[in-house]
Chain A
Amino acid sequence: MAEEDDSSLLVLLVETHARLWSMLSPEQSAGSSQPPALSGTGYLTQVLAFVNTFLMLNEANRVAIFATDTADSHLLYQSPSLQNPTGRKRPGLVPASAAAETLGHLVTLLEQEPSSTEPQPGPVLSAALSRALCFIHKAQHGAAAPSKDRPRPRILCLHGSPDEPSQYIAIMNAIFAAQKHEVVIDACMVADVDSAFLQQAAHLTHGVYLHPTKRAALLQHLLSVFMCDTFSRSFLRLPKATGVDFRASCFCHKRLIDLGFVCSVCLSIFCQASSECTTCGTSFVMARSPASKRKAVSPPS
C-alpha cells in the first residue's frame, strides 16, 4: 500500500437490540439458496465480512466495533494499534482474527443478554454515538503520528430500530460534536424503518444515509458505498439522499413534531406555547395581539 493513501478510522455501531431480530426475517435453513430477506445471522456475518474487507483494503485502516444494545454499548473489537498507540507498528500483520474475535464477543454478548418478554426501551443510539466520539477523540489525540498522517475518523451506524424521540437532544449534541471534530457519520438502515435522526446526522456531517431496498445483499451495499475513505468519496457517485427528515422532537414531551415553538433565548423546542421556557427559565411576555384586544373590547359576535 502506498504511504500517501488515506486511511480511515472506522467506528462501527452495530445494533444488536433484541427488537431488531424480530424486525429482520427468520433464519433460513442452510439448504435454501435464495434468501428473500436479511436474517439476523446474515446481517451479522455480512457485517463481519465487511470489517475484514475494510481492514485488508489498507494496512493503516483501523476499526472499532461497538454493539448497541438496550442499555449499553459494548466494545466488540478494536484494532491492536488502537489499544497500544505508542507501540511499534508491525508491518504485514494480517488482521484476519478481527472477524473471528468479534464473532466470539458477539456470541458471548447474546448469551449474556437476559431474555425478557416485557417490552424494552429502544437501543441507546445516543450513548453509542457519544462513546464512539470519545473513542475517536482518544485514538486521535493519543496517536504518535502527526495529525496529517492520522487515519480519518468516521462512524458507520448499522441501525434497524425506529428513533427514540427521548434521545433527540443527546443525539443532536453528539452530531454537533462530530461536526465540530470533522467526524463523518454514515448510516445504513438494515430494517424497514427510516431514521430521521440518522438522516440529520449524515446530512450535518456530510455522511451518507442509505436505506437499501435489497437488504439481503447488505454486504454489497456496504462494500459499494461505505468502503472507500472520505476523501475518495468526492470522486464517486454515491447515492444521494432524496430528502432529509428534519423533524425535531420537542423538549417537553419528546414528541416528534414538524411545527413547534422555539425559545428565543436557548433555542429549546416545544410542542405547545408556554409562558416560560423550562430549559432556561426565560418568561415570554406575550404582547397582546390586536386581534385579542379587539376580542376583549367588543362583545362576542
Chain B
Amino acid sequence: MALDPGADEERDTPLLVKRCMCMLPDKRKVPGVLTLSRLHIQWLPNNPATAQPLKLATSSIAGALQRAKGKPMVRIPTVPDAAIFELECEADRDAVVELLQPVVAQVQAKGKQVAGAAPRLHQGPDAARKQALLTEHKDLGAVYQQLVLSGLLTEAEFWASRMHLLRAGPPGGTRQQRSGISSAMLAAGQPTADGRVDRVTFQLTPDIMRQIFMEKPHVQRAYQDNVPHKLTEKEFFQRYFKHQLVKQMEQRRQAAGGAPAHSAEDEDELFSQRQGDAEQLQREASARIKRVDPTVNVAADTYDALGEGFGLPGKESGASTQQAAPNSLFQDLNRHGAVVLDGAGDVLLANQATATEVAEAIERARQARQASARNGSGGASSSQQAWQRRAGSALEDLRSAATGDWAELNIKDPRRYFDTASASAGGTPAAAQTPAAGGPGGGDRQSVLAGLRQAEAQGRPDPIIPPRAAAEVLQELSQAEARQDELAAAAETSLLAPMQASLRQTAMTCNELLRHFWSCFPANTAARQDKATRLQKALTDQYRTTETMVGQAIGTDRTMISGLMRPVQQALDAAFDKYDGEQAQWRASKRHAAMPATQPISQRPTLPA
C-alpha cells in the first residue's frame, strides 16, 4: 500500500510570494510579504511589532476580487470584512488576481452545488423517517454528514444497508388501522317525518349508499342498469325508498294481524329480486362456508332457513305467508352481518362520493372476490390441513408465540447434492497440509502407548507439570487480561473528550466505508469495480487521517491513540490487500478480454505495466 502523505501539504505550498502593503482597518499601510497558496492567503508584516500577521483561507472569500483603477491595489472580500493589499506594481497585482480567480470560482461553484443539493436530500417515501433517524441517532447523522454529503457514498448506498431501520417504521406506530363498517343496520334508511306535512325524509350518505349496495346486490344491479340513462340518481333513490316504505308498512300490517294487501302495482319491479339472485347468494354462502374453519363451523349449514317453532307461534292458517316475512328479516340480518364482517375492502377505503363510484367499486370488489374464490378452490385441501393442524393443538391466540418453527430439510436432488459433496471430499486439502503419521520429529502412537502403559503401571509423573511452567502460565493469563482492558480504560480517563470523539468518528467512518467496500465483492461488473476503486481512495484518505492522528499526538497519548486505532488500521490494511489482489485480477481479465484476434491492435487499451 503506497500512501502519499503530502497531498494536503502540496495544496498548501506557496504559489506566489510578493512584497506588498496591507491596508489595516485603521487605514494604516504596513509593508509586508504576501504568500498565496491554493488553501491560504497569508500576509506577514516586515516588522512583527507593527501589525498582526494575517492568514485567510481561500474558502472564506465571499465575492469577486476587486481591482482598483490606476493603483496596484486589490480588495479581497472575506466573510468578516475585506482585506486590502497594495502591491508594488499593477503587473504584480494582476498576477495575484489571476492566481486567485480560479480558486475563488471553484470555491463559489462548490458552495452553489452544496446549496443546490440540500433540498434533494432524503428522497423517496421514507424521507421523513430518514430525517428522524439521522436526528435521533447522532452517530448515524455524523457518518451521514461525512460520507453522503461529501459525495463519497450516494444516498441509496447509505440507506441500503440500513433498510431494517427504515422498515421498523416510526417509533410512534402510526400504522393505519383497517377501517370497518358500522354495524348499525336499522338506522340506515329510516325515514324521518316532521308530522306536519305528509312527507317523509330519507337521509342518504355515501356510507349508507355503500351499505345498501353491498347488502342488496339486486339494488346495485338495478342502479347500474338504469342510472344514468333511464333514471337520475335522485329518481332512483326516491323509488328505492318508496319501495322500502311500502315494504315496511306491509310488514307492520302483517304483524298487526291484518290481511296482506299485496298487489302488483305496490311492488316496484325495479327492485324485485330475480330468480338467480337467491341462487347466487346461496352459492356465495356455501363458498363462504367452505372457507370457514370447520372446527368452528357450528351448524353453519343451517344458514338463514328457520323452520317452524323458533319462537314463532305458528298459526295453522296463513303460516306460509307469515313465515316468509321473518325469513326475509333474518336474511337481511345475516346479510348485514356478513357484510360487516367482510369489512370494507381496500377498494372501498378511498372516499367515493357519488353513488356511481360506490356501485362500481363494489362491483369490482365482488368480481375480484369471485375470481380469487375460483382460483383458490384448488387450495382447499391445504387449508383444510392447516385447520386440522390448528384444531389439533389449540386456538391460535390462546397459545404463546411459537418459539421456533422446524423447517423440513428439502434437498431437491439428493443424488446430485451428495455426489458433488463426496467427489470433492476425496482430496481434502487438510490431508495434504499436515505431516504424515509418524513423520520425522513427531511422536507416534507406539511411543504414546508405551508412555501410557508406563503411567498405568507406575502412576502418573509427579508433579504432572513443572511448577515453574504452571506459574508462567498463570502469570501470562492474568497479565494478558490486564493488558486487554487497561488500554481502553486508560484512554477513557486520560484522553481529552474532543480527541476521543474524533477517534470515534474516524473509526465509525472507516467502518461504514469498509462495509460498503466489502459489499462490492465479488466485483464482477464494471460498476462494482468503479465503486471499489472509489471507496479504496476514500479509505486511503481515512488511513492517512489515522496516521496523522497518531503522528500528531505526543507522549502517552501517542501510544494510546495508536493502540486504539490499530484495529481500524488492520481492517484498512486487509481491505487494501484485498483491493490490490483484486486489481491484479481485473487487469489480468482485461488483458484476457483484450486479446481476441478480431480486435484491431491499435484499439487495444493501454495497460499499466
Question: A-side interface residues toward B, CB under 8 Å?
Answer: 18-19, 21-27, 30, 33-35, 39-41, 44-46, 48-49, 99-100, 103-104, 106-107, 110-111, 113, 115, 117, 119-122, 161-166, 180, 212-214, 216-221, 224-225, 237, 239-240, 251-256, 259, 261, 266, 273, 277-281, 289-292, 300-301
Distance of A25 Cα from B447 Cα, bound (Å): 11
Residues of B within 8 A of A30 (CB): 461
B424 at the interface (CB under 8 A from A): yes
Determine if A220 and B474 form an interchain contact, defined as CB atoms under 8 angstroms apart: yes
**7 residue pairs A–B, Cβ–Cβ below 8 Å:** A21-B437, A45-B455, A107-B449, A217-B466, A256-B429, A278-B413, A279-B412
Shortest Cβ distance from A25 into chain B, in angstroms? 7
- Measured CB to CB, the nearest residue on chain A to B412 is A281
Contact A41 to B412, CB < 8 A, known contacts A165-B430, A220-B469, A279-B417: no
B276 at the interface (CB under 8 A from A): no
What 1/0 mask marks residues of chain B from 444 to 474 whose CB sits below 8 Å from any chain A CB? Answer: 1111111111111000110011100110111
Residues of A within 8 A of B478 (CB): 237
Residues of A within 8 A of B469 (CB): 35, 214, 216-217, 220
Determine if B437 and A22 form an interchain contact, defined as CB atoms under 8 angstroms apart: yes
Residues of A within 8 A of B420 (CB): 252-253, 278
- Measured CB to CB, the nearest residue on chain B to A116 is B437
Determine if A41 and B448 form an interchain contact, defined as CB atoms under 8 angstroms apart: yes
Determine if B464 and A45 form an interchain contact, defined as CB atoms under 8 angstroms apart: yes
Pick the 5 closest A-B CB pairs, nearest first.
A281-B412, A41-B451, A22-B442, A40-B448, A217-B469
B606 at the interface (CB under 8 A from A): no
Distance of A255 Cα from B424 Cα, bound (Å): 9
B438 at the interface (CB under 8 A from A): yes
Contact A103 to B431, CB < 8 A, known contacts A180-B404, A217-B472: no
Q: Which of A35, A225, A279 contacts B477 (CB 8 A)?
A: A225
What 1/0 mask marks residues of chain B from 388 to 428 whose CB sits below 8 Å from any chain A CB? Answer: 00000000000000001000001111001100110011001
A-B contact count (CB 8 A): 196
- Measured CB to CB, the nearest residue on chain A to B604 is A301
- Measured CB to CB, the nearest residue on chain A to B432 is A119
Determine if A219 and B476 form an interchain contact, defined as CB atoms under 8 angstroms apart: no
Distance of A301 Cα from B411 Cα, bound (Å): 44
Distance of A224 Cα from B450 Cα, bound (Å): 29
Determine if A166 and B525 form an interchain contact, defined as CB atoms under 8 angstroms apart: no
Contact A224 to B473, CB < 8 A, known contacts A45-B455, A46-B465, A107-B449: yes
- Extra A-B contacts (14), CB below 8 Å, given A220-B470, A220-B473: A18-B437, A22-B439, A23-B434, A25-B443, A104-B456, A113-B445, A117-B437, A122-B431, A161-B434, A237-B481, A252-B420, A253-B424, A254-B421, A261-B522
Determine if A214 and B472 form an interchain contact, defined as CB atoms under 8 angstroms apart: yes
Determine if A41 and B484 form an interchain contact, defined as CB atoms under 8 angstroms apart: no
Shortest Cβ distance from A115 into chain B, in angstroms? 7
- Measured CB to CB, the nearest residue on chain A to B449 is A110
Which residue among B411, B430, B439, B454 has the maximum number of chain A CB atoms within 10 Å of its CB?
B430
Shortest Cβ distance from B594 into chain A, in angstroms? 9
Q: Which of A23, A273, A280 contacts B435 (CB 8 A)?
A: A23
Q: Which of B442, B452, B484, B527 contacts A240 (CB 8 A)?
A: B484
Q: Which of A107, A221, A259 contacts B473 (CB 8 A)?
A: A221
